[in-house]
Each structure stands twice: as structure tokens, then as C-alpha cells.
Amino acid sequence: MRWPLIIPGKKLNAMAVVIVLVLMGSLILSVFWHGSTAVISRLSGHHVVVIDPGHGGYDPGAITSQGIYEKNVNLQMAKKIRELLKPAGIEVKLTRDEDEDYVPDGVRGKVTKKQIDLNHRINLAAQAKADLFVSIHLNATESGRNSGAETFYHYKSGEGKKLAEGIQEELIKIPGMNRRIAKPGDFYIIKNTSMPAVIVELGYISNPKEQKKLVQSWYQDQLAKAVAKGIAKYFGIP
Ligand SMILES: [Zn+2]
């Protein structure tokens, strides 16, 4: 027995219309849904990178006799790198957006304060479900002779090594830069982050010649581009 035979014609037509409408509706919805998720994922990025401007607040990092504070240059650089990664669809979060630290009032002891501050940054990266963690610093030595950028990864992290090498390869393309390769290290922040992590020392503010460049916009732009390119390369984004 064919079922349409027992259903009155009008009812059958109404049902057919409902079925067609439901099918069309779900098709349209599905197109919109996939379309919108594609747009959303392109806008927010499949990749999340936490950029950590080293030091801040009570902790200035290295200071030069000219009154340049490492923490301030680190923050400028982190913001520049963030802007460059946005068009690549990479979501960037900074561990700090201003001159601040994460040490509650009343905490004493240099080492304790530093550890609390670093742990907070490590936790921020974990909460952000970051794919990568990039800590930005400037170097300094007593002699003032050293110059150039250095990138460190945790010696046990293969992915950290890949990221560090990618960034350092771009940094050494900058005219006048040294030819260093990425180095393994055992620093607290790259050891304790739960995702591949690197420390990028963008240059030596203890070197008079390099110090002058490090505070200039054109040179900062070159450094930022190199770091951003290294990060994008890690994700296979040209
Ligand atoms: Zn530093």
C-alpha cells in the first residue's frame, strides 16, 4: 500500500510544503552556520599566541645611564608584534598592556616577588589556552661590548626549539645584526609554561650603539617584523 493514497490530497500538499521548507531552512542555516564559523575563526584566529613584555611595574629590568628602562621598550615591542600578527589571523594576548606587575602589596623579597610575577604570567598563558608563549626582553652586560639579538628555548622542548630557530633566523636577516643561532636554556618562564615557549632578547641596551637603535621606531619595526614572521612561520603562515 502506498501511503499517499490514504492521506487526503490537501494534507499531503501541506506536509510536502512543510518538509520542503524545513529542508530548505536547514540547508540555509547550515550554509550560514559554516560560513559564520569560518568568518569567526578567520577573525579570531585558530592560533593564540601570548606575548609577554618582560618585567613591568616594580621591576624595570635593565636600566641604562640614559634612563632607558627595559620594561618600557619590551612593552612597545610586544604591542608592535601584536599589530603585525593580527592580519595573519593570529590572536595575540599580552601578559600586560601597561606598566604593571602582578605582585600583591606587602610581598617582600626579590626572588619571591619575581616568582609570583612570573607564575601569574605562566597562568595567564595557560588560561588563554595559548599555542605559543613569547617573552620579550632586552639584554645587558657590564662590559657593554656584546650586541645583537638572542632567542632561547627550553632545552627539553623540540617545538620551542622550532619556534626559537624560526624567530632567530628572521632576526639575523636584519642588516647589521649578529649571526647567532637559537640557544637552549633553562630559564624559569620557558621551563614552566605548558606550551612551546621562547625568550627573545632583542638586543643589548648596554651597548651604546645598539641602545640608540633599540629606542627608535624604524629599528623597532624591523625587530617586530622579524619576530612576527618567525611566529607566523611556525604555524605555516607565509
Ligand atoms: Zn629582561
Cα dihedral value 101, 104, 105, 107, nearest 10: -100
**Domain shared by 114 and 200, yes or no:** yes
The torsion angles phi and psi of 145, rounded to 5 degrees, stand at -80, -40
CA 225 to ligand 1 center in whole angstroms: 20
CA 59 to ligand 1 center in whole angstroms: 9
**Domain shared by 138 and 175, yes or no:** yes
Q: How confident is the model at residue 68 (pLDDT cuts 50, 70, 90)?
A: very high
**Domain shared by 208 and 182, yes or no:** yes
**Domain shared by 104 and 141, yes or no:** yes
**Domain shared by 23 and 60, yes or no:** no
So what's the pLDDT on residue 220?
98
**Domain shared by 117 and 25, yes or no:** no
Render 189-230 in DSSP notation, one character per residue: HHHH-SS-EEEEEEEETTSHHHHHHHTSHHHHHHHHHHHHHH
So what's the pLDDT on residue 238?
86
The predicted-structure confidence for 135-192, as pLDDT tens digits, reads as follows: 999 999 999 999 999 999 999 999 999 999 999 999 999 999 988 999 999 999 999 9
CA 138 to ligand 1 center in whole angstroms: 5
Q: What is the pTM of this model?
A: 0.81
Residues 6+ positions from 219 with CB-CB distance below 8 Å: 213
Does 9 have pLDDT greater than 60? no
How many separate domains does the chain show?
2
So what's the pLDDT on residue 98?
98
The rounded mean pLDDT for the chain is 88
The kind and range of the H/E element at 115 are helix 110-127
Rg (CA), the chain: 26
CA 84 to ligand 1 center in whole angstroms: 22
Residue 115 sits in which domain range? Answer: 47-234
